[in-house]
Structure 1
């Protein structure tokens, strides 16, 4: 697939990096020579220096022969303009990054496809939504909902008193029949090794395990994983960034009690006017004394979303030391995900990774409805729509020749989530969830085309 990415900032570079690993034909455009030089040195892609709103530049990049254009510059208006122009020049699909959440909320009313934009994404908006979901499932370290929650992916760390520790997957299923969830990926404690579980795979304490569950399986997972669900009501947010503002507004709308700490005086006043239900504090939240004065120990959750990853991590560690039950840190460096288990922070959130998840479904083959990459695991969870002429239609799961490094995690049929086993027959119109390691994704895609 040929892809043009306009904008070599954090999101653009990360997308180019992920796509180049899969041998797509990538062209990266930017007006910053240093960014392009770094990308050219580190990635196997083509770079073009210049303004992507230029017709001549887009034509020189063969935009008319391009499958997908993704515009992720820092300017919302520039991204919209690039997509509109590119669509007129013949690109098949366009995605624009926007910063104003109103565009996301009203994109259907705006009829953006008629303008020439196939999809709009906001990394900040997506990150805020991710954090909201994590707060609703307080004991879990990662979550993702498919079809408004009829099936949900949940990641958690097994405590030593989890009932199925030291049991195999098959033994656990025999001991607890009728459960409404399925393990789809495991990372052994202290390693970076990801495995797709089979019947003989054993659970160990401190494993990081990802499950797919229907609505009735969430409470079961709390019990059987040895974790406890805590009601979250009091939330402290450090940082008045776009994510911080969006998150505070969403939390207040759901009747949470929210404190937001912002060190910039003008920005704090602006946020206070914008969010009258949020208690906005103009102070340096990097200071431990400030956090203690604002009664951090009485918070149910602490979320640090400043522009500095190290500040976010250190602030969450302070919150942990004050016995705050749920801590979430926004990080930019993907390497920090490898440390999340050892340093004691409940969850790390990376807006680049979340944005990439949202965009990747346009890259994959087959009719992909949704896709998410598992935090710090080398695996993807994909939702395919089954067409009548695809290879697995009218086939039992046990008879599908799916790679061993992949697993069918669930099926959505007529709006109902189903944890499907081997005797379940896939039908046209079903939506099938598959968890796969990267080495098998192309084989999985072929089953759905």
Structure 2
């Protein structure tokens, strides 16, 4: 597929990096420094110029493209570029749009005339991810698959976990009535696709795929308890915190700290159920005065990764049970567990996942990358031609660095065993490292 990506910021850069192995990518960027970085590090044709200049778009051969993904930081540039692309015959367009007004029902321009086939709202998607983490307060990651019938939970193991140092095949026998599978282990910045002889050790971050109805049983196995969250402090009064407050404000007491006076006054006006404080959220004295030690959760979602990291570490030091930080620089991801951070979300990764899911939507219903891990969890829909449907799993040569986590067959969740026979039309959730992805896709396509 020929894909034109606009913008070489973190979203456009990482989207290009992930898609260039399978697709012919052209990338437009007007910042010379970002152009240089992209030219040196990406396997793509780079065009320097304005993303809504028709001259630049013609240089990028826009009329030959199958898909345009407008990922710049400017909503209007993204929307206009999609309109141009549609006029010249590009079949599919995707836009990253921050301003929620463009998708409101009362917006005067109808949705179908705005231009994009898909509008991705990064802040809204990120807020939804954080809300899931608040409602599953013990998890480091929560991702849904199978139309909500499956949930992937990331959980960090402490020394008191009863499942430590027991081979996974023995755990499987002991808890075979529990519909769950450990599909990955993150250990000291190394991702392990587990096998029966592997054992879990303190400090491991495990990723468990399960029916959501068994969440409490899985938590008990890890030696933890899911804490009810009643009080939240949020650092940053931007769109993400506003979406979180609207979703949770009726059921949870929320305090928002914003260091810009005008912004704090605006947020206070639109969120009457929340207490908005003007101040520096990294000031320990301010946090103490505002009762951080009484909080059940602390969420840092400012525009600065460094501020978010420092603030959540302060909150952890002050024994806040649940901390969540927005970290967009992918280079920081591998170190976040080692410095004691709890849960981390990336607006860029969430946006990239949404674009990938749409591009691959014919046979991929969901795709997710996890912060700090070079791996993907992909939900495929099998067809009568899929090789994985021809034999029981134990007779299929499945790549070593991938694992079938679960199957949804006729609306029912199956944790597959060797004798499991996958049928055409089943949804199959597979965890895979990059080096195994090509072999996995040969079994599906």
What TM-score does the superposition give when structure 2 sets the normalisation length? 0.93
Superposition map of 1:295-444 within 5 A: 295-364=291-360, 367-393=363-389, 395-444=391-440
Q: Match for residue 243 of structure 2?
A: 246
Q: Secondary structure at the match of 1:154?
A: strand
1:230 Cα deviation after fit: 0.4
Counterpart secondary structure, 2:380: strand
For 1:129, the equivalent position in structure 2 comes to: 128
Contact 1:151 1:212 in 2 (8 A): yes
Residue by residue over 1:2-31, the C-alpha shift from the partner in whole angstroms, topping out at 9 and shown as x without a partner, is 3211122232223223334x2643221123
1:196-236 deviation per Cα after TM superposition (whole angstroms, max 9, x unaligned): 11122222222111110112321121011112110011000
How far apart are the structure 2 equivalents of 1:97 and 1:231?
34
Cα drift, residue 318 of structure 1: 1.4
Contact 2:146 2:427 in 1 (8 A): no
Shift in CA distance, 88/396, structure 1 to aligned 2, threshold 3 Å: farther
Deviations 1:90-114 (A, max 9, x none): 323221001133556769x998567
Could you say which residue in structure 1 is the equivalent of 2:164?
Answer: 165
Q: CA deviation at 1:366?
A: 6.3
The farther-off stretch of 305-314 and 338-347 is 338-347
Q: Evaluate the alpha carbon distance shift between residue 438 and residue 363 of structure 1 in structure 2; reply closer, same or farther with a 3 A threshold.
A: farther
Aligned pair 1:197/2:194, yes or no? yes
Matched, 1:230 2:195: no
After superposition, the CA RMSD in angstroms is 2.2
Do 1:299 and 1:324's aligned partners in 2 also have CA atoms closer than 8 Å? yes
- Once residues 236 and 393 of structure 1 are traced to their aligned partners in structure 2, the CA distance between those partners, rounded to angstroms, is 49
Q: Give the CA deviation at 1:320.
A: 1.1
Separation in 1 of the partners of 2:283 and 2:255?
16
- Per-residue deviation, residues 172-199 of structure 1 (Å, max 9, x unmatched): 11122211110111122xx222121112
Shift in alpha-carbon separation, 1:89–1:277, aligned structure 2, 3 A: same
In the alignment, is residue 212 of structure 1 matched against residue 227 of structure 2? Answer: no
CA contact (8 A) 1:158 1:208 kept: yes
| Residue of structure 1 equivalent to 2:67 | 68
Secondary structure in 2 matching 1:441: helix
Preserved contact between residue 181 and residue 208 of structure 2 (Cα < 8 Å): yes
* Match status 1:221 vs 2:221: no
Task: Give unmatched runs, 5+ long, in structure 2.
Answer: none
Structure 2 vs 1, CA of residues 327 and 240 (structure 1 numbering), >3 Å: closer, same or farther?
Answer: same
1:27–1:46 CA contact under 8 A, matched in 2: yes
Is this contact kept in 2: 1:394–1:428, CA < 8 A?
Answer: no
> How far apart are 1:357 and its partner, in Å?
1.4
Cα separation, 1, equivalents of 2:134 and 2:248: 10
Secondary structure of residue in 1 paired with 2:69: strand
CA contact (8 A) 1:104 1:122 kept: no
Gap regions ≥5 residues in structure 1: none
Scaled by the length of structure 1, the TM-score of the pair is 0.93
Matched pairs, number: 444
The separation in 1 between residues aligned to 2:267 and 2:438, in whole angstroms, is 46
Report if the CA contact (8 A) 1:316-1:328 is conserved: yes
